[in-house]
Each structure stands twice: as structure tokens, then as C-alpha cells.
Amino acid sequence: MKRFFALFFIALYALSTGVFGQNDIKSGAATCPTPTDVAAVHLYGLWHAELEGQAQVATLQFERHPDNAGSVRGRVTRGNTTVVAAGDVDEGEFSLEESIDGQRISATWLGTVVPDSCGKEIRGSWNNALDNTNTAFVLRKAPGWQ
């Protein structure tokens, strides 16, 4: 009988700690940054980019910039082409530079974090520095990345 009560209390404790460790969605306790609160850490991970007029989706992979903790570094992949990129977000304004050769800027991304997206959607304009064309873009964070 003592063994039964011991197991019962262990199970009860395990269940209660799991419940208290969860975010309370009803009370809004889950963390959802406003656009002005979004920082480089919110950009880390995999993003999908839709560029207006282009059927192919690009992917962007961001990680902490080794030389500047407030920035990101990563890569942009379109089809079989991958380029390096570096940028940041400040007060909801997103800025990214990409480079084909790692020396010169070949394109820039300028946009804003979408309100009520919890920092997981950015809209703006992609500028190809090689031919000076502008294209509207939408970046969306891939599912599974916080």
C-alpha cells in the first residue's frame, strides 16, 4: 500500500510540474514580440522568401553573426545558387545585404516586421544591385523555429 501511494504522489508531482511549465495561451503568457521588440535572436533559423513575379521560393538560413551579436549571418539559396548574407533588425526595420562573391553587395533586402506576426513575417523590397531592379518580398519563418 505504501508503494501505491509513493507511485501515486510521484505521478501526481510529474503531472503538475508539466502543467505549470507550459505557457498559458488563454492569458497571453506565451512570448510574442511586437515588431519593435524583434531582435537578431528572433531571426535565427530557416525562412522562406516569396519574391513577387517569381515562382521559385528562396530560402534564407540565419545564425548569430560571429563578429556582431546584434546581427545575423547566413545564406540565401535560390535554386542551385547560394550566396552569403548579413543583416539585422532594429525597431522593426529589417535590413540584409547579400553577396555573390563575399566581397561586394549584390542585393539588399529592406523591410518591416509585420504587426501581429510574432516576428515571423517580414515584408519589403529586394533590390538587385547588379541591374538595379526592385521586387516586393515576403519572408516567413519556417514552422518549428521559435
| Helical H segments across the chain, by residue range | 2-20, 40-43
pTM for the whole thing?
A: 0.78
For 130, other C-beta atoms within 10 Å of its C-beta total 11
| 97-118 pLDDT, tens digit each | 999 999 999 999 999 999 999 9
Residue 30 — very low, low, confident or very high, per pLDDT cuts 50/70/90? Answer: low
30, 63, 97, 100, 115 from 129: Cα distances, Å: 40, 24, 10, 11, 29
CB 49 within 8 A of CB 58: yes
- What's the chain's average pLDDT? 85
Mean pLDDT of 115-141: 97
Q: 18 or 76: whose pLDDT is higher?
A: 76
| 55-114 pLDDT, tens digit each | 889 999 999 999 998 999 999 999 999 999 999 999 999 999 999 999 999 999 999 999
